[in-house]
Structure formats: structure tokens, C-alpha cells
């Protein structure tokens, strides 16, 4: 789009130069001219303000220089095109206006070049602002002194732009060599800035509207080079139209960018608040986990201490000694289970955690789990059943160690939350939907799960409540770990529970082909 725009602007200038010489500009009234000067100046100053506020990733440093150049254009237009005619009672002579325009556009073009051409533009610091301001003031005073002494060579002769426009006089006839020499400098700077914008757009995240604005500004300098009007004259030129379009593109583009940046910052703030909330929740969970682990360790350790003290007293009763040894083994198993849960949690949270599924006979998988359940200390009848259309020798795709861990967790929970003597069922059935999957379930007839706890029990460190409404003992890792393992298998862990009637935990595995 930028290339098409540039070609159109050049073709427009060549057509006017060769065919319609007077169409570069048209005479207007003083009110129209003054209004155009004021509105253009204010629009440029607004654009400079927008650019100064806009600092986006990758282009912020560039836009500080572009904003400075835009401010120079706006202030120059306001001072020479609007305020000076008001103070002096009319527009300055064409000769003086051309030099003022030359000064402003050389300074602005230089700032555009510094911001858009280098791969890594210099930092626009406060010191740089003072240097630029001092340079502008010095050049303006020097130009004023030259004009007062009549030492500035004339840039136009014979006719002014208004008369030339009315008569269709070629600019080659009324512009001097000084104009063609000095006027080439702001044009060259504008073209260099546009070329730099093209290069930077290919290298980094430079917005398209900046490129369009740079092309419009270079086009306005081309048209002004061929038909200069200075400041304050009662004429509107094609260069004025292009400069106005340039200012409008920058102002609108800058506003849109400010909206985008504001939206991005709002999203970042929301994300930061969410992260802070998650960190706060994690800190709470960590504190709860530490307290739970300390509590869970405290019970077995205290029991082991009491039992070892009893053995240390030289108790002679063989039955008491056997009871003490068996109790120590039970408490040691509880400690082992706690350590295993914590270790498994750490392993699953690692980025390189993975399961190793392979064909495993479903019967062997469930019989190992049945053997484990029968060895648990509580007295619970454990039954194992297979559906009529499922043979125990059929194989499922599973990591036997990890799925075995899931089944042990579920059986431990079933025993823990069931009254003494309540049966625990372990069953497997083939799904009848033709998907080639087996559903494995662990069924207990205990207290069931409160509806408000169904989601919580699968969260890390989440624990349900017993029939009395108190949190059940444990660290809340078993079901969390089980769900993570099953999801790594492409499955999930679900529960169907009614308070007072028991729970059914189930998951599905693919049959091996």
C-alpha cells in the first residue's frame, strides 16, 4: 500500500508539472487560509502529544524522535503560519516565508531521520530535548538576523505562488537556483525517513500507519519543492493537502495505538492480578500442606515412640510384644504411604513426567490390586468381578505401575471411608458403545461424598468431609495424583456418590489391538 501511495503522489506531481502547471495550488480567502494554518498546526501538536504518550514495545524509542519532529512541525506552523501574521497584520513576504518553512522542515526531517533510519536509534533524553530546543532557537535567530540584514539570497523571483497559479506559470520560471539547492535538503530528509520506515517495517514491529505517514510527508515535501508556498499565503497547495493527510494519519493512528496499548496493559494487569491470586492460593495451600503433613507424621511417630518405649521396658508378655511389633509395622506403612504420595506428587508436577503405556492383561492388573486390598489392616470383604463380555486375559493399554498406583489409592480410600465389615468391590466391564474401551470401577458402601466436595477432592491437597462435617484425615494427594496419571493415559477419573450410600470411582482404558 505504501508503494502504491508513493507512486501515486509522484505521478500526481509529474502530471501537474507537465500538463496542469497551475493546479499545484489554488487561491483562497484570508479566512480560509488562516483557518487551515491554525487547524493544521493544532492537529500536528495533537499528533505530537499522542506520539509522546504512546510507547509500544520495539518502537517506543523511535516514536519519541518522530513525536519531536511532529512537535517542531506543529509549533513552526503555529508560529509562522498563524501567530506571526496576527502580530504583523498580514502574512510575511514569500521570500521570508520560504526560509521559515525551510528551517522548520529541515529540523523536523532531521528528527524523523534520526528516529526512523538507524537500526538502534539513540535514546531521546531530557538533555537531548534541551539540545534540540537550543538548536531550533539558534537557527531561528540566525535566520532572522540574515533576513534583517538582507543577506539571505532570494528563493523566488518575478511572481508569487498565487499569481503563478492563476497564470499557470511553470515553477522553473519563478523559482531561483537557491530554492532548488536549499529546498532539496528537506526533501532528501523526508525521502530518507520514508525509506527508513520501509526498512524498519521489515525488521521489527513498526506499525503500518507510521509507514503511510512517512510516505505522505515525503510526498508533501516533493510537491512543496515543486510549488513552495511558505507560511500564511492566501493559497492552498497540494503540499498542504498532503501535510494535512499526514497529520491526520499520525493523530488517528496514534489514538488507535493508545487504545491498543491501554487494552494490552489492562490485560497484563488482569493477568498479574490473577497470578498474584494464584500465588496467594499456592502459599495458603503450601501452609495447609505443611500443617497436614506435620499432623499426619505426628500420629504414627507418636505411636511408634510409645510402642518402642513399651518394648524397651522389657515387656515379657509375648502377645504384647507381637502386638507392639505389628502396630509399629502398621504405622511404618502409613509413613511409607505418606512419603510415596509426596514423592509421586513431586514427580508428576515435573515437566518431564510421562507414563509408559503397554499392553497389560486386565485380569493381572486387577488381581494385583485385589491382593493389595486384602492385605489392608481393616476387615473389609473385597470382591473382583469381570463383565460377561470381558475376559481377564484381554489386554488394556496402560502403564501397570501408574495404574496400579491409582487402584491402590482408590482401594485405600474405599476402606478408609467405609465402616468395618462393609464390602469393597473391584469390577471391570467392556463398554458397549463399540469404542473398544474397558471401564474399571472401585465401589464402596461407606458414608459417601458431600455434593459440595465432589470437585474439591480432586484438587491438590483437597480433602472431603465425613458424616459429621469434619475434614477427613490425609494430605489430599491421592485423588489428585490419580486423576493426573489417568489424564496422561488419555482417560479421566470420575465419581458417582450419594451421601450415606457410598461412592463409585471409575475410569476407562483402551483395549489393546
pLDDT at 108 over 80: yes
Find which of 59-73, 169-183, 306-320, 384-398 is predicted with most confidence, using mean pLDDT.
384-398
Burial of 511: CB neighbours in 10 Å, binned 0-12, 13-18, 19+: middle
Rounded to 5 degrees, φ, ψ at 460 are -65, 125
pLDDT at 57 over 50: no
Angle at 323 between CA 320 and CA 326, to 5 degrees: 150
In 3-state terms, the chain is what percent helix, strand and coil (to 5)?
65, 10, 25
Q: Could you give the CA distance from residue 59 to residue 112 in angstroms, rounded to a whole number?
A: 13
pLDDT at 430 over 60: yes
pLDDT of residue 55: 47
pLDDT at 362 over 90: yes
Instruction: Judge contact between 91 and 85, C-beta under 8 A.
Output: yes
Q: Which segments within 288-398 are labelled E, that is strand?
A: 358-361, 382-386, 395-398
Rounded to an integer, the average pLDDT of 434-451 is: 90
Rounded to an integer, the average pLDDT of 100-108 is: 88
Angle at 29 between CA 23 and CA 226, to 5 degrees: 30
130 or 474: which carries more pLDDT confidence? 130
pLDDT of residue 315: 60
Lowest mean pLDDT segment, chosen from 53-62, 272-281, 391-400: 53-62
Q: Could you give the CA distance from residue 204 to residue 63 in angstroms, rounded to a whole number?
A: 13
The overall average pLDDT reported for the chain is 79
What is the per-residue pLDDT across 247-260, written as a single tens digit (0 to 9) for each? Answer: 888 878 777 877 87
Rounded to an integer, the average pLDDT of 259-276 is: 87
pLDDT of residue 235: 67
Angle at 154 between CA 148 and CA 157, to 5 degrees: 130
pLDDT of residue 56: 44
Entry pTM: 0.52
SS3 33: helix
**Secondary structure string (H, E, C) spanning 267-306:** HHHHHHHHHHHHHHHHHHHHHHHHHHHHHHHHHHHHHHHH
pLDDT of residue 350: 66
239 or 429: which carries more pLDDT confidence? 429
**Secondary structure string (H, E, C) spanning 392-426:** CCCEEEECHHHHHHHHHHHHHHHHHCCCCCCCEEE
pLDDT of residue 68: 81
Q: Which three cell numbers stand for residue 17?
A: 508539472
Give me the percent of the chain exceeding a pLDDT of 90. Answer: 21
pLDDT at 89 over 70: yes
Rounded to an integer, the average pLDDT of 131-137 is: 74
Lowest mean pLDDT segment, chosen from 265-279, 347-361, 396-410: 347-361
pLDDT of residue 474: 62
pLDDT of residue 509: 96
Crossing angle, helix 478-488 and helix 400-416, to 10 degrees? 150
SS3 168: coil
Q: Please identify which residue in the block is written with the cell numbers 491382593.
A: 371
pLDDT at 485 over 50: yes
pLDDT at 295 over 80: no
pLDDT at 264 over 50: yes
The runs of H, that is alpha helices, within 54-81 are: 60-76
pLDDT at 47 over 80: no
Among candidate residues 449, 487, 230, the one with its CA nearest the CA of residue 348? 487
Give me the percent of the chain exceeding a pLDDT of 70. Answer: 76
pLDDT at 360 over 80: yes
pLDDT of residue 481: 85
pLDDT at 22 over 60: no
pLDDT at 369 over 70: yes
pLDDT of residue 189: 95
Q: Strands 424-430, 382-386: parallel, antiparallel or unpaired by DSSP?
A: parallel
Find which of 48-57, 222-231, 472-481 is predicted with most confidence, using mean pLDDT.
222-231
Crossing angle, helix 126-148 and helix 60-76, to 10 degrees? 30
| 186, 219, 224, 242 from 8: Cα distances, Å | 20, 9, 16, 12
pLDDT of residue 46: 63
pLDDT class for 184, splitting at 50, 70, 90? very high
Q: Which residues of 296-331 are buried (b: 16+ CB within 10 A; e: fewer)?
A: beeebeeebeebeeeeeeeeeeeeeeeebeebbeeb
pLDDT at 120 over 60: yes
Amino acid at each position: 500500500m505504501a508503494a502504491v501511495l508513493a507512486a501515486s503522489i509522484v505521478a500526481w506531481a509529474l502530471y501537474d508539472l507537465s500538463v496542469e502547471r497551475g493546479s499545484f495550488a489554488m487561491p483562497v480567502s484570508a479566512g480560509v487560509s488562516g483557518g487551515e494554518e491554525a487547524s493544521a498546526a493544532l492537529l500536528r501538536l495533537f499528533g505530537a502529544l499522542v506520539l509522546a504518550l504512546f510507547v509500544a514495545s520495539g518502537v517506543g524509542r523511535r516514536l519519541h524522535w518522530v513525536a519531536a519532529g511532529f512537535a517542531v512541525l506543529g509549533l513552526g506552523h503555529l508560529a509562522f503560519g498563524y501567530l506571526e501574521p496576527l502580530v504583523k497584520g498580514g502574512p510575511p513576504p514569500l521570500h521570508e516565508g520560504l526560509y521559515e518553512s525551510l528551517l522548520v522542515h529541515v529540523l523536523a526531517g532531521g528528527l524523523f531521520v534520526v528516529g526512523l533510519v538507524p537500526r538502534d536509534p539513540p535514546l531521546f533524553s531530557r538533555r537531548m530535548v534541551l539540545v534540540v530546543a537550543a538548536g531550533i532557537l539558534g537557527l531561528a535567530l540566525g535566520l532572522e538576523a540574515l533576513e534583517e540584514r538582507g543577506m539571505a539570497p532570494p528563493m523566488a523571483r518575478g511572481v508569487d505562488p498565487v499569481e503563478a497559479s492563476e497564470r499557470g506559470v511553470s515553477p522553473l520560471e519563478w523559482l531561483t537556483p537557491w530554492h532548488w539547492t536549499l529546498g532539496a535538503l528537506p526533501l532528501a530528509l523526508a525521502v530518507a525517513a520514508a525509506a527508513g520506515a520501509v526498512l524498519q517495517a521489515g525488521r521489527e514491529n513498526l506499525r503500518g500507519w507510521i509507514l503511510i505517514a512517512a510516505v505522505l510527508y515525503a510526498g508533501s515535501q516533493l510537491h512543496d519543492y515543486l510549488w513552495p508556498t511558505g507560511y500564511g499565503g492566501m493559497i492552498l497547495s497540494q503540499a498542504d493537502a498532503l501535510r494535512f493527510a499526514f497529520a491526520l494519519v499520525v493523530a488517528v493512528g496514534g489514538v488507535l495505538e493508545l487504545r491498543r496499548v491501554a487494552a494490552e496493559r489492562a490485560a497484563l494487569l488482569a493477568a498479574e492480578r490473577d497470578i498474584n491470586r494464584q500465588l496467594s492460593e499456592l502459599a495458603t495451600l503450601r501452609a495447609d500442606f505443611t500443617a497436614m503433613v506435620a499432623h499426619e507424621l505426628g500420629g504414627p511417630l507418636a505411636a511408634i515412640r510409645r510402642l518402642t518405649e513399651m518394648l524397651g521396658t522389657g515387656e515379657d508378655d509375648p502377645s504384647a510384644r507381637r502386638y507392639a511389633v505389628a502396630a509399629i509395622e502398621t504405622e511404618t506403612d502409613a509413613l511409607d504411604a505418606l512419603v510415596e504420595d509426596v514423592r509421586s506428587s513431586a514427580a508428576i508436577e515435573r515437566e518431564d513426567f510421562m507414563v509408559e503405556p503397554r499392553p497389560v492383561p486386565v485380569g493381572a492388573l486387577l488381581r494385583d490390586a485385589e491382593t493389595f486390598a486384602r492385605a489392608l489392616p481393616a476387615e473389609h470383604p473385597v470382591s473382583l468381578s469381570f463383565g460377561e463380555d470381558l475376559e481377564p486375559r484381554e489386554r488394556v493399554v496402560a502403564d501397570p505401575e501408574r495404574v496400579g498406583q491409582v487402584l491402590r489409592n482408590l482401594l485405600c480410600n474405599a476402606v478408609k471411608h467405609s465402616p468395618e465389615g462393609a464390602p469393597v468391590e473391584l469390577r471391570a466391564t467392556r463398554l458397549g458403545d463399540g469404542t473398544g474401551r474397558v471401564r474399571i470401577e472401585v465401589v464402596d458402601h461407606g458414608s459417601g461424598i458431600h455434593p459440595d466436595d465432589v470437585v474439591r477432592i480432586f484438587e491438590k491437597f483437597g480433602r472431603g468431609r465425613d458424616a459429621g462435617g469434619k475434614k477427613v484425615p490425609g494430605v489430599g494427594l491421592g485423588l489428585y495424583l490419580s486423576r493426573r496419571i489417568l489424564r496422561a493415559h488419555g482417560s479421566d477419573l470420575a465419581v458417582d456418590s450419594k451421601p450415606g450410600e457410598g461412592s463409585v470411582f471409575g475410569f476407562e482404558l483402551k483395549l489393546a489391538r
